[in-house]
Amino acid sequence: MYHFSFNRRQFIKNSSKAAAGMTILSSLTSSASPVKRLEPKVRFAVIHINHPHIYGMINAVTQGGGQLVSFYVKEPELAAAFAKRFPAAIPVRNEKEILEDDSIQLVLSSGIPVERAPLGIEVMKHGKDYLVDKPGITTLEQLAVVRRVQKETKRMYTIMYSERLENKATVKAGELVKEGAIGNVIQTVGLGPHRMNAASRPEWFFDKKYYGGIITDIGAHQFDQFLFFTNSTQAEVVSAQTGNLHFPQYPEFEDFGDVLIRGNQGTGYIRVDWFTPDALKSWGDGRLTILGTDGYIEIRKNIDIVSDHKGGNHLYLVNQKEAIYIDCNDSALPFGEQFVHDIINRTETAMSQEHCFLATELALKAQKHAKKLTYQK
């Protein structure tokens, strides 16, 4: 169906480390308080799990009324870890068994990024909806084909922008903005630092042709948040830059990127990097600042290093009436239920298809036209 080559032996070696870390990383998206699961209404399957985001995706869909029935994972170590986590799901021999199963309505995937769009195209052609980890598409050429097939099939191609959809403080911020708590939003500043953990990474992680580049990959979250909070339906990349500033041993890797963006309802700044230091008790000090005409919101997604607040999901609100802190750990995450509703009713309550594609299009354009940073030390 689609092919690429890299050192499989090294990948399998690193996969065992990745499999061990999947459960740990997936726990970062779990709820602080018990969440009621809806009765199953949609049968879904999983194809490829090369990133632990798949666990958060499954959790969201299951809580919303989905039932995981089968999976195909080609790497033995990853398959074993997955089967242990979901013993009721049936392992199958190949993708075809899932694609041709008419009882399955939805396919989830967090495969190697370059493979995600080709798989999604096949999923839609087989009459199923598709929920994929970001980056859901790695080139503008892939995007053009995905858009065409989505239009022809009328299936959903949804990218899981988890920094918004799976972060309770960010969801709460959306509610406050909708209520008018900070007036009209005019700018977002999104910071997406990540920890490198080079020893646990598979070989494809360091080669841009497989992951798409740092803005395509990590930056996809930030473009989604920019469009959502400014309510922009059109936007252009004003400037972008990327570089490999610290890891010369990985010549096809990028460890830093930033972007200025202008939309029809606001502006934005995005910075992403792989420089989270080891002393931080989180994989990244992710932050989002939302500037409005009557105030602002700052979200500290995973950790708050300037206070005694534990864990993540911290929100600060300052407007004309108050300056307050809100612990958002008990807030709801509505995406899963909305998404299942959309599958059944062919609606767009969780995310519109155009928003999904536009966020990725902007990331891909910023990546393609980014100026290269080089510094001599």
The label of the residue with tokens 């911020």 reads: 173
Rounded CA separation 156/339 (Å): 10
Q: Which pTM was predicted?
A: 0.90
Strand order through the sheet with 106-110: 90-91, 66-72, 42-49, 106-110, 129-133, 157-160
CATH top class, domain 164-333+365-373: alpha beta
- Work out the pLDDT band at 375, boundaries 50, 70, 90: confident
At residue 189, what are phi and psi to the nearest 5 degrees?
-125, 110
pLDDT of residue 19: 44
Strand partners, 66: 42
Parts of the chain belonging to CATH 3.30.360.10: 164-333+365-373
Summarised one tens digit per residue, pLDDT across range 47-67 is 999 999 999 999 999 999 999
How many other β-carbons are positioned within 10 Å of the β-carbon of residue 194?
18
Summarised one tens digit per residue, pLDDT across range 137-183 is 999 999 999 999 999 999 999 999 999 999 999 999 999 999 999 99
Contact status, residue 213 vs residue 367, Cβ threshold 8 Å: yes
Q: Amino acid identity of 101?
A: D
240, burial (CB in 10 Å: exposed 0-12, middle 13-18, buried 19+)? buried
pLDDT of residue 376: 74
Question: If we measure between CA atoms, which residue out of 195, 242, 175 comes closest to residue 214?
Answer: 242
Summarised one tens digit per residue, pLDDT across range 281-329 is 999 999 999 999 999 999 999 999 999 999 999 999 999 999 999 999 9
Parts of the chain belonging to CATH 3.40.50.720: 8-161
User: Looking at the domain that runs over 8-161, which CATH code has it been given?
Assistant: 3.40.50.720
